[in-house]
């Protein structure tokens, strides 16, 4: 019931917190995750390292909050692309995949923090704080717009899928966590499956490219990506681009 005014102290505090994360991010982009250090952040801000403990209980906590911010930033970028793509769900999906790849290539270190090797400390903290890793909110929140768009497409013109009886047997029983977040299945199991399959396919392409695991085969991944996206879209009954 306190007033809405953030009481100066809190404003300063919030400003320091964002400045801390900004400097951490600069270190992240230049030197990768292991380059983020409390002492370096403090140096860059003209502080001493222990002072940061007034704002975060540990370096891992700071990195975790940074990761959440980045997750959200990527989500917004994808949603923006979606809304700029018109009303057709197919066009929206194509725009979103392109936005996802573009952002990831432009921010490889951030991508690595969010989608790569789980950082040991992060997961421990995340488990307690219900944050961005294993049981995390962020992953589900990020997947939501993709899922939503696919659901629209499905409602508009159902695409052919693997027959449900086949899926219902083995796949549906594993959907507990999914149902926990998105409510009881308004969506048929086939659509959920199609969503997860497409999402892992997109992730595989982008992760491989960002991590450099395709350098040995291909000089430019763009054509591979474009053709693959077109394929997925076509399998969803979409029109050619």
Tell me which of a copy of itself, DNA, none is bound by residue 72, counting a contact when its beta carbon lies within the kind-specific cut-off of 5 to 8 angstroms.
none
Length of the chain: 241
Q: In whole angstroms, how close is the CB of 163 to DNA at the nearest point?
A: 51
| CA–CA separation, 19 and 8 (whole Å) | 16
Does residue number 7 form part of the binding site for DNA (CB under 7 A)? yes
Tell me which of a copy of itself, DNA, none is bound by residue 47, counting a contact when its beta carbon lies within the kind-specific cut-off of 5 to 8 angstroms.
DNA
Q: Which H/E stretch holds residue 147?
A: helix 137-156
Does residue number 18 form part of the binding site for DNA (CB under 7 A)? no
Cβ atoms 74, 108 nearer than 8 A? no
Does residue number 83 form part of the binding site for DNA (CB under 7 A)? no
Does residue number 222 form part of the binding site for DNA (CB under 7 A)? no
Among positions 60, 72, 197, 237, the unique one binding a copy of itself when judged by CB under 8 A: 197
| CA–CA separation, 125 and 130 (whole Å) | 8
Q: Any residues with CB less than 8 A from the CB of 82 and at least 6 apart, and which?
A: 92, 95, 96, 99, 145, 149
Nearer to a copy of itself, 57 or 204 (CB): 204
Task: Give me the half-sphere count of Cα atoms (radius 13 Å) on the Cβ side of residue 238.
Answer: 21
Tell me which of a copy of itself, DNA, none is bound by residue 157, counting a contact when its beta carbon lies within the kind-specific cut-off of 5 to 8 angstroms.
none
Angle at 128 between CA 31 and CA 26, to 5 degrees: 20
Q: In whole angstroms, how close is the CB of 134 to DNA at the nearest point?
A: 20
The residue ranges that bind a copy of itself (CB under 8 A) are: 31-35, 112, 115-118, 120, 123, 133-136, 139-140, 143, 162, 166-167, 170-171, 174-178, 181, 193, 196-197, 200-205, 207-208, 211-224, 226-228, 231
């Amino acid at each position: 019931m306190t007033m809405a005014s953030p009481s100066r102290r809190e404003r300063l505090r919030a400003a320091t917190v964002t400045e801390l994360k900004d400097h951490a991010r600069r270190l992240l982009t230049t030197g990768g995750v292991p380059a983020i250090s409390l002492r370096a952040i403090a140096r860059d801000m003209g502080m001493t390292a222990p002072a940061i403990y007034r704002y975060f209980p540990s370096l891992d906590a700071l990195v975790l909050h940074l990761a959440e911010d980045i997750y959200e930033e990527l989500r917004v970028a994808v949603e923006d692309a979606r809304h700029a793509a018109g009303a057709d769900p197919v066009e929206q999906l194509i725009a979103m995949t392109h936005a996802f790849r573009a952002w990831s290539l432009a921010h490889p270190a951030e991508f690595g923090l969010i989608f790569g090797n789980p950082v040991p400390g992060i997961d421990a903290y995340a488990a307690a704080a219900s944050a961005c890793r294993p049981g995390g909110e962020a992953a589900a929140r990020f997947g939501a717009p993709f899922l939503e768009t696919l659901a629209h497409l499905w409602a508009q013109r159902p695409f052919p899928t693997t027959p449900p009886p086949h899926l219902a047997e083995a796949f549906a029983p594993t959907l507990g966590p999914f149902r926990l977040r998105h409510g009881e299945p308004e969506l048929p199991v086939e659509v959920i499956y199609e969503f997860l399959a497409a999402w892992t396919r997109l992730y595989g392409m982008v992760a491989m490219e960002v991590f450099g695991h395709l350098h040995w085969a291909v000089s430019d991944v763009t054509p591979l990506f474009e053709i693959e996206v077109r394929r997925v879209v076509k399998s969803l009954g979409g029109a050619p681009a």
